[in-house]
């Protein structure tokens, strides 16, 4: 949205004043109430043992790489480069 707004200002569709910026009036806290759950290796292993198939592979992928679940679910086979041992996220 920032790019859309900037382009609108560039082409004169929106005035270049602070009062015309809609974000100026938005209040948002930078604090998050999220509390991560940290597992020791034996607890993680017990979870992996209860899973099977694609669920187990997905859980190990996310735990080992740190990618978000949405990124993992969006992966395709061509995103994996076996020669360089890299996963390309898009």
Residues 6+ apart with CB under 8 A from 15: 9
Q: How many domains does the chain contain in total?
A: 1
In a domain, 74, yes or no: yes
What pLDDT is recorded for position 85? 92
In a domain, 32, yes or no: no
Taking the model in full, what pTM does it have? 0.56
What pLDDT is recorded for position 40? 93
In a domain, 22, yes or no: no
Q: Is the pLDDT of residue 68 over 80?
A: yes
Residue 81 phi/psi, 5° resolution? Answer: -105, 100
What pLDDT is recorded for position 81? 93
In a domain, 77, yes or no: yes
Distance, CA of 51 to CA of 77 (rounded, Å): 22
């Amino acid at each position: 949205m920032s790019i859309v707004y900037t382009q609108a200002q560039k082409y004169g569709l929106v005035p270049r004043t602070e009062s015309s910026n809609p974000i100026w009036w938005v209040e948002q806290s930078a604090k998050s109430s999220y509390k991560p759950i940290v597992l020791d290796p034996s607890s993680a292993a017990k979870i992996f043992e209860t899973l099977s198939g694609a669920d187990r592979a997905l859980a190990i992928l996310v735990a080992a790489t740190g990618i978000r679940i949405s990124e993992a679910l969006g992966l395709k086979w061509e995103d994996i480069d076996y020669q360089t041992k890299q996963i390309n996220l898009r």
